[in-house]
Structure 1
Amino acid sequence: MRIIPVLDLKGGQVVRAEGGERARYRPIGTPLSSDAAPVSVARGLRTLLPFPAFYIADLDAIEKGAPDEEALESLQRMPDAPELWLDAGFAEEASLAAALARPGLRPVLGSESQDDTALIARFRDHPGLILSLDFFADGFRGPEALLSDIALWPSTVIVMTLAQVGSGAGPDFARLRKIKARAGGRAVIAAGGVRNEEDLRRLAECGIAGALMATALHGGALTPAQLARLSAL
């Protein structure tokens, strides 16, 4: 069970996600850091466990703004630099190819950012590529073929349930089981609503390879000892 902390970036700061309603996101307040600077929050999270990877949602880039290159570079300069799983609204071949070539970076192709399946068809066999299947309150967002045609899926697939992000409602186990049953040997990663050790153990029993987490880590729902045990599952 791989636990990947989430850093949602907006305006150069880490923000607290609430149900996918990005206009409501505000700079995070957390006992793990004295401020909302990306490196400060990442360092605080690493006091719980020396996480080797972080998921970065560059919300400004996803909303077609400028990518936060300064934040990425500062995170990559950290001691024992973490691998960064980056969703920056990739929708063009040149930017995705550049991200795939960048050391220490795994670009996340979000379904919500795609107009068609051209990019995923071009790069699906690249071992560094991650696909995020994005589900909002009104359902799946993106080309329907990205959800229905599993031949398009790369080796790692995130099931992102935005409506449950930050809600404490628990993962969408039914959806995760269905997608895992279709995914074959691909690594399926849960995102949205993961609350505690029990949720993570249930995900492991479903064959889920990992989970993206933020709220439960900042809220103290998982101790360092629990995280160490879960990472060994």
Structure 2
Amino acid sequence: MEIIPAVDLRGGRVVRLIQGDPSRETRYSQDPAAVAQEWERRGAPRLHLVDLDGALLGSPANQQALREILRVIRIPAQVGGGLRSLEAVRAVLDLGAVVAIVGTAAIRDAGFLEAGCAAFPGRVALGLDARAGMLLTSGWAEATAIRATDLARRVSDFPLAAIIYTDIQRDGMLEGPDLPGLAAMAAVTRVPLIASGGIASERDIHALKALAPPVGGAIIGKALYDGRLTLEAALHAAAGTSC
């Protein structure tokens, strides 16, 4: 299982939000590229880069920061936030992202996801952000009547890089991942699953590994930035070794 540090960008800075709420922001750095390089230096196998402004506005908004990060790191990065056209997906892949994460546009238009997978097979991930199992869109600002498991089932045969499942109620709360929700997702799709939201300890990582089937990756943000969990400890927990 991969441990994937999150680098969330807002206004060109590295920040974390609580439950996706822009009014509950903690700023960590004005140098996103340096943060990304530090995670790489400490052993991260991959980075999760999110353009928070793009997610809210509907189009990429932190291109300069993303470009600089992707220029200086050597590990793969998955990038999301505001990618609501094939042109936006292509642009972020051209910048150097290994995987482009789509959410809102794919939830609203199944044809968009099909077209993206056809154009970039294995390089598009589907981001599913849910509250009580129901999907939200537009930077978590708009509720839908679509169950996350229903959409995961429908795309099970798509050539997706991954489904990234985030429980919004747990995001930034350091209360552990949504294990029942993740288990339900894993039961209905063959697409590799990445967990996000609430992961705060080695115990949480062990619990994710114990799911059947286990998730392929765990995105960790606030716990790493606040020192609740070190990247080294997370990597050892994922590998089943001791520090």
Check whether TM > 0.5. Answer: yes
The partner residue of 2:128 within 133, 137, 142 is 133
Is the partner of 1:193 in helix, strand or coil?
Answer: coil
65-74 or 160-169, which moves further after superposition? 65-74
Cα distance per residue 1:97-120 (max 9 Å; x no partner): 333454343110124774211211
Contact 1:96 1:107 in 2 (8 A): yes
Give the corresponding residue for 1:187: 192
Give the corresponding residue for 1:31: none
Is the partner of 2:23 in helix, strand or coil?
Answer: helix
Q: TM-score, normalized by length of structure 2?
A: 0.81
99-108 or 82-91, which moves further after superposition? 99-108
Contact 2:105 2:112 in 1 (8 A): no
Q: Aligned runs of 1:221-232 on 2, under 5 Å?
A: 221-223=228-230, 225-232=232-239
Is the partner of 1:63 in helix, strand or coil?
Answer: helix
Give the corresponding residue for 1:27: 27
Q: TM-score, normalized by length of structure 1?
A: 0.85
Q: Which amino acid aligns with 1:117?
A: A
Is the alpha carbon distance of 1:127 and 1:13 closer, same or farther for their aligned partners in structure 2, counting shifts above 3 Å? same
Is the alpha carbon distance of 1:93 and 1:101 closer, same or farther for their aligned partners in structure 2, counting shifts above 3 Å? same
Is the partner of 2:8 in helix, strand or coil?
Answer: strand
Higher strand content, 1 or 2: 2
User: Aligned pair 1:71/2:65, yes or no?
Assistant: yes
Distance 1:20 1:69 in 2: 20
Cα distance per residue 1:168-198 (max 9 Å; x no partner): 11100000001011122x2100000001001
What's the C-alpha RMSD, in Å, of the aligned pairs?
2.4
What is the percent sequence identity of the aligned residues? 25
Give the corresponding residue for 2:2: 2
Q: Aligned runs of 1:181-220 on 2, under 5 Å?
A: 181-184=187-190, 186-206=191-211, 207-220=214-227
Contact 2:205 2:238 in 1 (8 A): no
Cα distance per residue 1:46-99 (max 9 Å; x no partner): 45x321321111011112255211111211222x52322111211112222333
Distance 1:77 1:103 in 2: 8
Distance 2:105 2:135 in 1: 8
Unaligned runs of 5+ in 2: 138-143
Contact 1:192 1:213 in 2 (8 A): yes
Give the corresponding residue for 1:36: 30
Distance 1:77 1:96 in 2: 18
Unaligned runs of 5+ in 1: 29-34
Is the partner of 1:133 in helix, strand or coil?
Answer: strand
